[in-house]
Amino acid sequence: MSTWWNENVPAFVVVGRVNAGKSATLATLLEVDDDAVLRVSPTPGETTRVQALPVIYDGEEWIRFLDTPGFQQPLEAMREIRRLAGSREPGLEDLRVFVESRSEDFPDETRLLEPVLKGAGVLYVVDPAKPLRDEFLAEIEILRWSGRPRLALLNPQADAAPYLESWREKLGTAFNLTRTFDAHGAKYEERRKLMLALLHIEERHADRIGRVLEAMDAEWAQRREEAAEALVDFLEKALTLRSSDGIDERDEGVPARKERKRQALVEEYFQKLAEMESACLEKWLRIYRHHLIEADADPVRHRGLDLATEETWRKYGLNRWQLALAGAGVGAAAGAAFDLGVGVHSLGAGTVVGALGGGTAAFLKGGKLPELKVDFGGARLKAGEGRALVVGPPASPNFPWVLLDSMLVRYAAMLERAHGRRDRARLDAAAGASRVRELAGGPRAILQKWFTSCLKGKPDRSREPEVFRVLLVLLGGSENGGE
């Protein structure tokens, strides 16, 4: 009895040339980034047997995929099958005779044909950067003889694919469907489309594949909600963060001592902030099943979001006008006018600043580098113990927006990453454009009000549900390349 076959579970066997990207395709489709579970490797011959990869939702295995070593001698195998068939056009029965009688000379071909004989659908992976040589034509021919439902997958491993059209033409005649699937780059939408293609070619199992699609969608929506929840949690913690230390008369008397204490608190502040960021990123990586991506590994140097660089503050967060409007609590109505491009210039700066009221300060400070708020008063400690030095949060009104942007950019980078890759990666906070600048006035005002409450150290919990909804939309936008 083979361990990879189960009568009750529809199977799709993945075939193709060694190194075509069969394992990488499955790894990306099924989100497996662990070589111990599914080996993706440039060294041929590492998969020597058929390996089952079950698709399980709600405790039930709906379908399974079978990874194979791939074709080794397709031309010779094709000739042998032809010989066995004699004068007839070869068919499934001839493949059966071939598998039963010729496994010693053709171990790889018989291994990949066994599941086909048992009734598995076929996924044929090719790299269209390779010329369509006779070996490939032989593979295509053998698979066509099987008569099984079959899908051809073009997995372009390089940018240029000069033979793409000849591949398409040939595959079009021998397969039910041809699809492109970048094993190193496919995102959720493409994974979903591949699953849908299987449903189209194998209608006998449409029910079960349909259930898989529903479960995938439900799980994807749920993951985004969990990610948004983690983000609300992070922002609240980050914006209320303070570092503090007591100061006594000696500190008061010696400015250099006080300055040293302040510096130490600034460092501590940023370190804690980075730890909070890492914790949120790690939660996301767990939710999206990534093990080869590192969250920020070096909180001390704060590589992920270097708040101290001017570059960061030009690129991320709101622009000056958005910030002014958000700070003034100008929401849907006036905000919409600006979003539509009615234009601040036509109004004259004086008028605008006048109209902004409380937002003016925000506007004036918006473009500056963050200065860490230093608070000498703090709460008075017990008599005789002196006063407290409190550091944080940065005074720039753009601070929460830059922070949020840096998280959204990394969320998008995480979702860009295909599980079929086996190199290590680090999420880069400076890759990609600002996402918060795309926000409309209404949601911007919702976030600003909540940010302000957090910055004051009194997070307004009653606003959390709407904040959660705005963040959910922002995360969704980041998944689709910021649309």
Q: Is residue 180 close enough to count as binding ligand GDP by CB under 6 A?
A: no
Q: Residue written as tokens 């918006």?
A: 366
Smallest separation, CB 467 to Mg ion (Å): 45
For residue 18, state whether it binds ligand GDP (rule: CB under 6 A): yes
Tell me the three state secondary structure of residue 293: strand
Minimum CB distance to Mg ion, residue 41 (Å): 7
| Interacting partner of 24 out of Mg ion, ligand GDP, none (Cβ under 5 to 8 A depending on kind) | ligand GDP
- For residue 23, state whether it binds ligand GDP (rule: CB under 6 A): yes
Of positions 11, 16, 21, 23, contacts Mg ion by CB under 5 A = 23
**What are φ and ψ of residue 62, in 5° steps?**
-90, -45
DSSP string, 34-78: -TTTS---SSTTS--S-EEEEEEETTEEEEEEEE---BS-HHHHH
Site for Mg ion in 40-69 (CB under 5 A): 47
99-133 in b/e burial notation, b at 16+ Cβ within 10 A? Answer: beebeeebebbbbbbbbbbeebbbbbbbbbbbebe
**Binding segment (CB under 6 A) for ligand GDP, from list 36-44, 78-86, 204-212, 442-450:** 36-44
| String of contacts with ligand GDP for each residue 65-94, x by CB under 6 A | -----x------------------------
Site membership for ligand GDP, residue 59 (CB under 6 A)? no
According to CB under 6 A, which one of 2, 41, 166, 351 is a site residue for ligand GDP? 41
Which partner in ligand GDP, Mg ion, none is near 177 (CB below 5 to 8 A by kind)?
Answer: none
Q: Which of 54, 67, 174 is nearest to 111 (CA)?
A: 67
Residue pointed to by tokens 């000498």: 376
182 or 277: whose CB is closer to ligand GDP?
182
Shortest gap between Cβ of 364 and Mg ion (angstroms)? Answer: 60
How far is 468 from 483, CA to CA, in rounded Å? 19
CA Rg value for the chain? 30
Binding part of the chain for ligand GDP, among 29-37, 137-145, 181-189, 284-292 by CB under 6 A, reads: 181-189
**Residue 226 host element (H or E):** helix 206-240
Q: Which helix (H) or strand (E) holds 95?
A: helix 92-101
Is residue 22 within the footprint of ligand GDP (CB under 6 A)?
A: yes
Tell me which residues touch ligand GDP (CB under 6 A): 16, 18-24, 40-42, 70, 155, 157, 182-184, 422
